[in-house]
Structure 1
Amino acid sequence: MPTLLPHIIIDEQPLHYIDKGHGPVVVFCHGLLANCSMWQAQIDALSAQYRCIAIDFWGHGQSQTLPVGCDNLQDVAKHVLRLIDALEINDIAVVGHGSGGAIAAEMVLIAPARIHALVMLNSFVGFEPQVNCIKYQNFIAQVANAQAIPAELAVSLTELFFSKDAYELSQHNITLAQAIKAFEKQLTDIHTQQIAPLLKFANMAIYKRDTLESVEALTLPTLVAVGLNGYLRTALESYLMHDSIDGSQLLHIEHAGHLANIEKADLFNQHLIDFLAKVNFN
């Protein structure tokens, strides 16, 4: 049984998180279908110098419910800021993956004075392309009908999260093979009572608002990173965000997919450490 994570109560529901390390605070926001454990390699690399807070979002990991009235990613961003308030933290950097990157951007738009750096990995803050919405709605329908993530669907989803050649490479890479199996198991282990909150969060993530024009106003240090060999996000989307945010840095990660921070942990960690070293947290 996994260790029960600490939590705070937000609108009568528990929001769980990891809190490890000491120093300037870095908040990690996972994307749809992941959880805070996806950041373990980054927490291991950073926690000697930074206080790392990684959140299980509603319907994910140990945060298996969703508050009444939580209707969009702006609401989720406000919940993260309430967590930071509860921990009596003023200044942070935020790292977001997938829809967690959109949540991170919403946090900056809500509280720009408190957030001193932004990292978005395989994220896109514009409208989700319609072709993706149709595909994702098919997945949602399968989960809703089964009230679970069936094993066959879990395999298909896992394939989408890793690089296009990950399964071939995993034949000779035990660490990668273990990561693939762990993600697949994480999906099939989702509890029935978790399905409704997860599906609502999924719709919030898929049909998020377009903030491409809004982020043009951002002036904080920003790193936009994308795995070049994935199925879910594209290099073009990373260019669009990089162009929208003046002074942002762009990182293309070769031979990696949606979970580039896991597939290429050492490379991503080094870029993240170098980026954070230049951030003024005061």
Structure 2
Amino acid sequence: MIPRILSIAGSDSGGGAGIQADIKTITMLGGHALTAITAITAQNTLDVSAVMPVPPEMVVAQIDAVVSDIGVDAIKIGMIGSPDVAEAVAERLAALFQGREIVPIVFDPVMIASSGAVLADPATIAAFGRLMSLSVLVTPNLPELAALAGVSALADEGAQVAAAIGLVRDHQAAFLVKGGHAEGPKLVDRLVGWNGTVAEWSGERIESRNTHGTGCTLSSAIATGLGAGLEPEAAITRARFYVRSAIEAAPGLGLGHGPMGHGLGREHFRSKPSLRI
């Protein structure tokens, strides 16, 4: 059966991130996308001009509607919108899926858009704890990792890994620390597992302004792999290659942080038989 992937996230009117990026990614990787929209944003490549959270009961109603009929093989959680929505989603998922081995959940703790707009206030971030504890994998970038760990900055690799290990211990979820905000020509992502092991993926940094939605795309790609039965490291490897392919194929739209080429990068991605399932 085609993997059924539920994205619980906000809507991006510019089509580069959020639910729109998730639907494109899940579809390109062979899954069927289901959605529960948590917030509506008015945004483009330059900024986010307005945000309207969806009421918690409506978010839960969307989840219930698709789970009860179509079913779900994996879940990606992105922008939450408000602390009330965070609590309602955590409560519903805990009731529906008692035990994270039943349906893997990937949580991308979205806090700031590529344009710099704040998408999660301190109260919403404080409510992330239960969502992390429900997840098999959390995918913060470096500023998000620092915020989750309650520190102002993470100066080096050692501090980053130590912060992730602390969060792994607290929430019993693996953490994929994305290195895009670090300096240097190499980009390194580190997976800190439940037993403290660290796996690394590295590659040359792609110099591009068209990186809007990379985090959304990566997390939904990983969720699609997990929903299709891939082991976590294989799902991450495939997802990273898809993200890089989409950046390289970006159509160059807008005046700011442009969207990636989710569909345009498909042929490059499909040229790697070892990454197909």
- Give the TM-score category using the shorter length: 0.3 to 0.5
Using the size of structure 2 for normalisation, the TM-score is: 0.44
Using the size of structure 1 for normalisation, the TM-score is: 0.44
